[in-house]
Amino acid sequence: MAHDPTESGTAQEHTSGTTEARKKKEFFLPILKGLANTIAHIFRREPNTIFYPEERRAPYPGYRGEHRLKRDSLGREKCVACFLCSTACPSHCIEIVAEEAPWDDREKRPRIFNIDMLRCIYCGMCEEACPCDAIELTPIYNIPVLSREDAIYTKEKLLSL
Amino acid sequence: MSEHATTVTWTLNGKQVESPPGLTIMEAAKLHDLEIPNFCYHPGLSIAGNCRICFVESNRSPKPVISCSERIAEGLEIQTHSEMALEARNSVMEFQLINHPLDCPVCDKAGECVLQDHSYTHGPDRSRFEENKTIRHTKKLGSTISIWGNRCIVCTRCVRFCDEITGTGELCVVERGDRSVVDVFPGLPIENSLAGNVIDICPVGALIGEDFKFEARIWDMKKTSSVCAGCSRGCNIEVQSLDGFAKRIVARENPEVNEWWICDRGRYDYRYLLAADRVTDASAGGEPIDSDTADSSLNDLVSENGGIVGILVDPMMTCEELHLVNRLSSTLSDCQVAAWSTADGEAESFPNGFTISSDLHPNRAGVGAIIGKDAFSTVAKGLRRSLDAGDIDLLIVFAGFPHPDLEKKWIESIGKAKVRIVFSLQSGSWCEGADLLLPSTAPLEKEGSYLNQDGRLQRVRTLIAAGQQPFPSELVRLQALLTHLGERPRSVSSSGVFRELASSVEAFSDQSHSTLGESGCVLSSGKSAVGSMGGDA
Ligand code: SF4
Ligand code: SF4
Ligand code: SF4
Ligand code: SF4
Ligand code: FES
């Protein structure tokens, strides 16, 4: 049966008195609770701020910060230049140019692997896409740079992290 | 049912359908928009029936039948997705994947791999195989082709291609059972002019072209349907490019022209786009000038010239460009248009009929139809005579040749024009001493159409995205010049120029870029235009 929109309209009007009262309760009660919390903090001894950068907060597990490229047991980059991370990346900030690997047991490796950290949105899609577990987002969050060029992380930099 | 059975009535997945007699189940199903999985089947090759991925259930057989070789018959009932058919195909897939490496991340076929596709629809998501996989060779089979033996599914498409199409028979299957793999005979690498096609037809990433190896991923590339400018045959190609750079060229099916094949010249000959001697900047008297100065200088040189003008077109120009040249010549009071070309190449024919033309110019017929049949002969002779006599005040030369091998006689004559404007793809002696040198677009960078040796008009498309061109194309410059001379209201697209051409040249009437579509159209009078093409003057 089709729903008549006017029906619910009239129904609402009938109960409008009680709705108003409930709205007030739903509105004021949390505000009062929050206020109580704030007032309680006024009398706290401990400060809530920390002295950054001398003091640092430990990120929560799974925090997504700066990237790094991992190495295998022989110290070679794990990355096989499959481009899956750059394909998955929603902000198109990974640039890869592949080359033939100089090792017998591997075929392909990246010659260029650049990540533009200014475009990256730290979503972690690259890490999820990688079939070789070669790229990961570390919990490092303080990554200031002095120029835009410095914000483009090269393969060497990513491997050194 | 008629006495002479012009159609066969059979049942496909419970539905009665009619098909022309003599077709295989796979071909007939395709006509009814049902694609049955296949590896070894190729429409251009003989039926091998060795991969068994095309199994379907038939009412005439207790066991599943292979649809690529079984033919349709009256009353045949085929189930493509019954339990029996699916189980048969799933099992074939499981066998195929037993020794197949998990190479997709580094395999250049990934993204267009038939094995990947079928594995997605028919494959189990994990392997029950616990032994060691067999290792087969990875090696070069020729200067341009390598084989990754582990990925070979021994469908023999490549072997049949070398046997049936080129007749060269370089490839064979060696070893037996799960060790079998494609190889060449010792000391006899695969080197024929159509060899690159085996890369296209290999359904998996076993045969890989050396020039494309590790270059780009399939899904990142932009694909442009165009026509090869390597010879006057006009094979249909697909140019795959990344950021405006051609990465590889593959054949595009056109049953009327090239079927499924292209030659290796057409396949690999895109590198001249980045050749070191390519003209990329305009210059006046040897001094580089910017693009705007070049435009105004072109306009001034032409409009201020009151004397005799000669225009030398090349058969790499599109019909649209040639039409604009025609317009220009009719605007100028005293103007002759002739054509020049490069030396002929070598023609080559193959047993299946594929012929590489000796005429290395994709639009010689177009020059004949638009400029005139004698543009290469009598007019060219006349223009050269006038040049030698020092009668030509302004000469406009188009030299869009990727591999210029021009005759000396033209070079000397060209130098005798009082003022010379040159559009050139590559630098060469014809550019030296030019009053204005302008960069020319290469065939792969043009928008327009070519008329091939059989009178078929086909679209060429640029691989460069709109707005990314490093310099204005001839199409734009010629239109700007005509606007400057008060001839045209404003610039229009190549399709617009073509509409103008269609209304002014009889052979092109009733055509437009949209009627050409993907595979082109034969012009009604195109053949006659091609017929009596004189040699070079
Ligand atoms: S974290 Fe997200 S945005 Fe950053 S590089 Fe990876 S996929 Fe791209
Ligand atoms: S997905 Fe992993 S292996 Fe592939 S290119 Fe990115 S980092 Fe390298
Ligand atoms: S041939 Fe196909 S399935 Fe095999 S590794 Fe290459 S892309 Fe993957
Ligand atoms: S190399 Fe490719 S085309 Fe040739 S048999 Fe193997 S899979 Fe088939
Ligand atoms: S496609 Fe039918 S057996 Fe290979």
CATH number at residue B484: 3.40.50.740
Residue A60 covered by a domain? no
List of chain B residues whose C-beta atoms are within 8 Å of the C-beta of residue A89: none
Q: pLDDT-based confidence at A3, cuts 50/70/90?
A: very low
Interface of B with A (CB under 8 A): 105-106, 213-215, 217, 219-220
Q: Is A101 in the pocket of ligand 1 (CB under 6 A)?
A: no
CATH code assigned at B78: 3.10.20.740
For a mutational test of ligand 3's pocket, the pick from B122, B150, B181, B204, i.e. the residue with the most ligand atoms closer than 8 A to its C-beta, is: B204
Residue B246 covered by a domain? no
- Give the pLDDT score at B66: 97
Of B96, B129, B144, the residue that ends a domain is B96
Nearest residue by C-alpha to atom 2 in ligand 4: B202
For a mutational test of ligand 2's pocket, the pick from A76, A82, A115, A159, i.e. the residue with the most ligand atoms closer than 8 A to its C-beta, is: A82
CA distance B524 to A107: 54
Instruction: Say if residue A24 is in the same domain as residue A87.
Output: no
Q: Is A126 in the pocket of ligand 1 (CB under 6 A)?
A: yes
- Give the pLDDT score at B368: 95
Residue B261 covered by a domain? no
Of B74, B96, B118, the residue that ends a domain is B96
Contact B523, B516 (CB under 8 A): no
Ligand 1 centroid distance, CA of A130 (Å): 12
CATH code assigned at A152: 3.30.70.3270
- Give the pLDDT score at B163: 96
Q: Is A137 in the pocket of ligand 2 (CB under 6 A)?
A: no
The minimum CA-CA distance between B390 and chain A, rounded to whole Å, is 55
Residue B173 covered by a domain? no
Instruction: Say if residue A39 is in the same domain as residue A82.
Output: no
Question: Token digits for B442?
Answer: 């290469």
Question: Token digits for B375?
Answer: 């543009």
- Give the pLDDT score at B291: 93
* Structural domains in chain B (count): 2
Nearest residue by C-alpha to atom 1 in ligand 2: A130
Report the nearest atom of ligand 3 relative to the CA of B100. Answer: 4
Q: DSSP secondary-structure letter at B66?
A: E
- Give the pLDDT score at B536: 44
List of chain A residues whose C-beta atoms are within 8 Å of the C-beta of residue B105: 80, 82, 84, 131-132
Residue A58 covered by a domain? no
List of chain A residues whose C-beta atoms are within 8 Å of the C-beta of residue B213: 100
* pTM, entire model: 0.87
Q: pLDDT-based confidence at A25, cuts 50/70/90?
A: confident
A81 touches chain B (CB under 8 A): yes
Residue B23 belongs to domain spanning: 8-96
List of chain B residues whose C-beta atoms are within 8 Å of the C-beta of residue A131: 105
Higher pLDDT, B104 or A10: B104
Residue A35 belongs to domain spanning: 1-48
Give the sheet arrangement for strand B55-58, strand by strand: B15-19, B8-12, B77-79, B55-58, B65-66
Residue B515 covered by a domain? yes
Residues 6+ apart with CB under 8 A from B499: B512
Q: Is A106 in the pocket of ligand 2 (CB under 6 A)?
A: no
Ligand with smallest separation from the Cα of A125: 1
Residue range A85-108, pLDDT digits in tens: 999 999 999 999 999 999 999 999
Report, as ranges of residue numbers, the positions in chain B whose pLDDT lies below 50. 1-2, 526-537
Q: What ipTM is given for this predicted complex?
A: 0.84
- Give the pLDDT score at B535: 43
- Give the pLDDT score at B466: 80
Contact assignment for A83 to B106 by CB distance below 8 Å: no
Residue B175 covered by a domain? no
Instruction: Say if residue A29 is in the same domain as residue A77.
Output: no
Residue A150 covered by a domain? yes
**B264-271 long-range contacts, Cβ below 8 Å, gap at least 24?**
B264/B144, B264/B193, B264/B194, B264/B195, B264/B196, B265/B193, B265/B230, B265/B231, B265/B356, B266/B228, B266/B230, B266/B231, B266/B235, B266/B237, B267/B196, B267/B209, B268/B144, B268/B196, B268/B211, B269/B230, B269/B402, B270/B239, B270/B246, B270/B444
Residue A53 covered by a domain? no
Burial class (CB in 10 A: 0-12, 13-18, 19+), B331: middle
Instruction: Say if residue A105 is in the same domain as residue A146.
Output: yes
List of chain B residues whose C-beta atoms are within 8 Å of the C-beta of residue A82: 105-106, 217
Of B96, B128, B143, the residue that ends a domain is B96
Sign of the dihedral through C-alpha A89, A92, A94, A99 = positive
Instruction: Say if residue A12 is in the same domain as residue A85.
Output: no
Residue B424 covered by a domain? yes
Amino acid in the structure at residue A138: T
Ligand with smallest separation from the Cα of B47: 5
Contact assignment for B106 to A82 by CB distance below 8 Å: yes
* Structural domains in chain A (count): 2
- Give the pLDDT score at B259: 94
Ligand 2 centroid distance, CA of A157 (Å): 16
